[in-house]
Amino acid sequence: MEKRCILIFQALSDETRQKILKMLKKKRMCVSDIKKQFDMTQPSISHHLDILKRAGLVSYEKKGKEVYYCCDCCCIEVECKDFLEKLGMVIKEKKKKKK
């Protein structure tokens, strides 16, 4: 569990990967579409996507020669809650306002 959280935090520590996740949160995209938004090579984008995949933050699907990626970040709080609590960083649940 802790190893997974470390992978997640390492993946999120990079600004490029943060931007990629924001894009993938809006819609599924292939590497070539993602590349158009950055001034870097396709292998560099693929490297960033690989880091996000290993952390479990994106999922992918092959269609022909293209690979489509989408954001799969819903697990972060669940996966890292115990880890953060061990560090004394408790995630507090939002309280519903009473009307």
Q: How many domains does the chain have?
A: 1
Considering the domain boundaries, does residue 96 fall inside one? no
Considering the domain boundaries, does residue 26 fall inside one? yes
pTM, two decimals, is 0.79
Structure tokens at 18: 């943060």
Considering the domain boundaries, does residue 20 fall inside one? yes
Considering the domain boundaries, does residue 10 fall inside one? yes
pLDDT (tens digit per residue) in 30-85: 999 999 999 999 999 999 999 999 998 999 999 999 999 999 876 677 777 777 77
Neighbour-count burial of 49, counting CB atoms closer than 10 A to its CB (0-12 exposed, 13-18 middle, 19+ buried): buried
Q: What is the pLDDT of residue 88?
A: 74
Considering the domain boundaries, does residue 60 fall inside one? yes
pLDDT reading at 8 higher than 70? yes
CA distance 25 to 17: 12
3-state DSSP call for residue 56?
coil
Q: What is the pLDDT of residue 97?
A: 60
Considering the domain boundaries, does residue 91 fall inside one? no
Considering the domain boundaries, does residue 93 fall inside one? no
Considering the domain boundaries, does residue 77 fall inside one? yes
pLDDT (tens digit per residue) in 16-38: 999 999 999 999 999 999 999 99
CATH number of the CATH domain containing 60: 1.10.10.10
pLDDT reading at 15 higher than 60? yes
CA distance 10 to 21: 14
Structure tokens at 88: 């004394």
Q: Could you tell me the residue range of the domain that residue 73 belongs to?
A: 2-86
Length of the chain: 99
pLDDT reading at 99 higher than 70? no
